Amino acid sequence: MTATIKAGGRAFIFDMDGTIVDNMAFHTKSWLAFFERRGQAIDGDEFFRATAGRQGHEIMRTYLGEHLTKEDTALLDAEKEELYRELYAPHLETVAGFEQFIAAAQEADVRLAVATAAPPANIVFTLDGLDLRRHFDAVVGAADVARGKPNPDVFLLAAERCGVPPEHCIVFEDAPLGVEAARRAGMRAVVLTTTLPAEAFAEFDNVILVARDFTELNIDALFASGAVATSPTEAE
């Protein structure tokens, strides 16, 4: 059921991979191994910048050919994601301060959502593996929208399900395509530098704060902010 949008509501919308968990290096490793099986050498840094936030089937068609059918990409996605889960399972944990931050947000009556390009199996792996799903008012993934980031679909649906207007939502992201998706959705963004440095996001006028992890964040300050800021430790 879609929630009724409340004028006074506020929401935090979290990307999952690279934001709730610091796992993008493992995703990159699994992609490199996946393409190596097919005789393709991929530059990891360049690949991340071009694809983080896009859905698996979009990436498959870009790198393996537009001729691939939906059934083809589904099988390839399953292979790649199994590789990723095998690699990351021993390291599964939240980014520093995340659980304390969302507990404080709930105390402040902020609605919480996850908006990710991840397939259902990876959402289960992460949110249920860490017993986090119970904290969220909405969880939106690749299976719920037709287009991945930088299209705004996943963030707009998360806001709708939370019952909060886009302008009262703050997105937490680690990738440029995700920040661009938030911009297109009319949402401010907080960047975590789990994967890329602050300068990788210099072009985005919707970024209100750049931080290393959730221990550096203050809820009231985030909602009051309309300007780009960098946390003191990140500026050092």
Do 216 and 190 contact (CB within 8 A), yes or no?
no
Q: How far apart are CA 230 and CA 186, in angstroms?
A: 21
Given 15, 17, 77, 213, the catalytic residue: 15
Q: Assign 3-class secondary structure to 135-191.
A: HCCEEECHHHCCCCCCCCHHHHHHHHHHCCCHHHEEEEECCHHHHHHHHHCCCEEEE
For β-strands 138-140 and 111-115, DSSP reports them as parallel
Q: How far apart are CA 6 and CA 2, in angstroms?
A: 12
Neighbours of 35 (CB within 10 A): 16
Q: Is 15 a catalytic residue?
A: yes
Which positions are catalytic?
A: 15
